[in-house]
A and B are shown apart, each in its own frame.
Chain A
Amino acid sequence: MKYGVVIFPGSNCDRDTLYAIEHVMGETVVPLWHKDRVLPSDLDCIILPGGFSYGDYLRPGAIARFSPIMQEVKRFADRGGYVLGICNGFQILTEAQLLPGALLQNASLRFICRSVFLRVETVDSPFTAAATTGQVLRIPIAHADGRYYIDPDGLKALEDGDQILFRYATPDGEITEAANPNGSLGNIAGIVNRHRNVCGMMPHPERAVEALLGSEDGKVVFESLRLFVQQQEYRQWEPLASQN
Chain B
Amino acid sequence: MQQFAASVIVTLRRSIADVQGKTIEDGLHSLGFVQIRNVRVGKFFHFSVQAASEEEARQIVEQACVKLLANPVIEDFSISLTPEEAEVSEQ
CA distance A151 to B73 in the complex (A): 8
Say if the beta carbon of B16 comes within 8 Å of chain A: yes
Say if the beta carbon of A5 comes within 8 Å of chain B: no
Residue tally, chain B, CB below 8 Å to A = 13
Say if the beta carbon of A53 comes within 8 Å of chain B: no
**Interface membership of chain A positions 102-126, coded 1 if the CB is closer than 8 angstroms to chain B and 0 otherwise:** 1011111100000000000000000
A-B contact count (CB 8 A): 34
CA distance A78 to B20 in the complex (A): 37
Q: Which of B8-55 contact A (CB under 8 A)?
A: 12, 15-17, 19-20, 23, 43
Q: Is the CB of A94 within 8 A of B16?
A: no
By a CB distance below 8 angstroms, the chain A residues around B74 are 102, 104, 149
CB-nearest residue of chain B to A107: B19
CB-nearest residue of chain B to A66: B68
Known: A101-B73, A102-B73. A109 touches B19 (CB 8 A): yes
Q: Is the CB of A105 within 8 A of B19?
A: yes
CA distance A66 to B68 in the complex (A): 10
Q: Is the CB of B73 within 8 A of A94?
A: yes
Q: Is the CB of B71 within 8 A of A109?
A: no
**Interface membership of chain A positions 143-163, coded 1 if the CB is closer than 8 angstroms to chain B and 0 otherwise:** 000000111000000000000
Task: Using CB atoms and an 8 Å cutoff, list the residues of chain A in contact with chain B.
Answer: 58-59, 62, 66, 94-95, 100-102, 104-109, 149-151, 183
Task: Using CB atoms and an 8 Å cutoff, list the residues of chain B in contact with chain A.
Answer: 12, 15-17, 19-20, 23, 43, 68-69, 71, 73-74
Known: A109-B23, A183-B17. 20 other contacts (CB 8 A): A58-B68, A59-B71, A62-B71, A66-B68, A95-B71, A101-B73, A102-B71, A102-B73, A104-B16, A104-B74, A105-B20, A107-B17, A108-B19, A109-B20, A149-B16, A149-B73, A149-B74, A150-B73, A151-B15, A151-B73
